[in-house]
Structure 1
Amino acid sequence: MNAADLASLLCSRLCHDLMSPVGALNNGIELMADEQDPEMREKCLELLGESARASANKLKFFRLAFGAAGGFGDSIDTREAQAALEGVFGRERRIELGWIVAGDKLPKGAIKLLLNLALLAGDALVRGGRLDVGAESSDDMLELVIRAEGPRILLDPTLRETLLNGQANGAVEPRAAGAWLAHSLAAEAGGSIQLSDPSAETLLIGAALPLQD
């Protein structure tokens, strides 16, 4: 896959995720234009506010997870990454988020990898649950760990295969673009990704990256 193909797939994912909140914004504006009842107008304003926040949160997340990171030599404040993830899997969602990341900063590429892995694990919690995100430096390695637990976990076999091995049969499906990006980030950093065996209630994703001098 070349850079243009990956950009196209990631843009498709971004558009898909923004369709719902942006559509709700449009519906709210149309309702406001015709509605005269004060109580209904108040509800329309609430809808507009919620949709605007959802759109902004998704854009902040994708800016970090999919945007140009500048390589593993630069770093990002981990609190920014935490806020971006909380914006996607916040209190309004059925997912409880735990953030266990040591240190104030991580390499930008590691942040992108961490967020993409967290997004895949969070999406796998189809009925909600808990998502724990951790990172810790040990010796000359940076270890990333994502743990998803819930009543039903569904990680598509295509995503699993792409995470572990990259492109299958020379092509990547649009829904697997994030998994391919995660695999590529780990490989380019000289690291690897590990996955737990399919389980009914728990999913573990780990990545080990060599620390740069």
Structure 2
Amino acid sequence: MTAPASALDLASLLCSRLCHDMLSPVGALSNGLELLVEEKDPEMRQRCFELLEQSAKASADKLKFFRLAFGAAGGFGDSVPVNEARALIDALAGSNGRVAVNWMFGVDALAKPAVKTLLNLALIGLDALVRGGTLDIGAEVNGGAIEIVVRAAGQRVAFDPAVGQALEGTLAASELSSKTAPAAMVQQLAASVGGGVQVHVTAESLVMGAVLPAA
């Protein structure tokens, strides 16, 4: 186990990840507005409006996701309805178009640390499915523990070993990047409440699990 990254360094890297993911839809909005100003053909202008609408939705979906996954999410109490997490992940996966998401929830709500863990593991799973596939997400309370499982399956799963090391807490703080920051946050979050994270990867599947105290 290596020393965790400082809160400031981790926050900076998470901000970098957010900006990286927002660059594409926001850039599309900017490009669409420029085309709309120059375009005179009615059909092409309608197409521009459609593209603007799609980019605006993608931007809003990502901001809502990162607000809860990375941020304080002050609009929620100590627990968050699982349907809220489901809607955020479905929207994020929907913009991909090549990933089918399956859900297995045994509870109606989860503590905020558990929801943040679930969201970030789902984000890591989506990142691994660059060629498409399925994302299976489950959560239940077993005794005094919340058990979360995320399985990403598809052809040639693309999983950076550094992300796995960050999940397990063995990646040096000096080697963290915006790509591994969500995994590092999950590991630190789980450890801070007395829980843990495990990861298992093969050529065609990535399985990540977290166990957190229910209280």
What range describes the TM-score normalised by the shorter chain of this pair? over 0.9
Question: Is the 1:28–1:48 Cα contact (8 Å) retained in structure 2?
Answer: yes
8 Å contact 2:67–2:73 — kept in the other structure?
Answer: no
Q: Is the 8 A contact 2:81 2:109 kept in 1?
A: yes
Aligned ranges for residues 1-213 of structure 1 at < 5 Å?
Answer: 1-68=5-72, 74-90=78-94, 92-168=96-172, 170-196=174-200, 198-212=201-215
Asked which structure has the greater RCO (Cα within 8 Å, sep 6+), the reply is: 2
1:174 CA displacement: 2.1
Q: Normalization by structure 1: what TM-score?
A: 0.93
CA distance in 2, matches of 1:87, 1:63: 14
Deviation at 1:166, TM superposition (A): 4.9
What is the TM-score normalised by the length of structure 2?
A: 0.93
Deviation at residue 170 of structure 1 after TM alignment: 4.5
Map Cα deviations across residues 134-180 of structure 1 (whole Å, 9 max, x no partner).
Answer: 00111111100001110120110110111012541544222111010
Deviation at 1:6, TM superposition (A): 1.6
For residues 166 and 174 of structure 1, the distance between their equivalents in structure 2, rounded to whole angstroms, comes to 17
Runs of 4+ in structure 1 deviating by more than 4 angstroms, as ranges, are none
Conserved in 2, the CA contact under 8 Å of 1:166 and 1:180? no
Pairwise CA RMSD of aligned residues? Answer: 1.5
The percentage of counterpart residues that share the same residue type is 52
Shift of 1:3: 2.0
Gap regions ≥5 residues in structure 2: none
Note the C-alpha offset of 1:195. Answer: 1.1
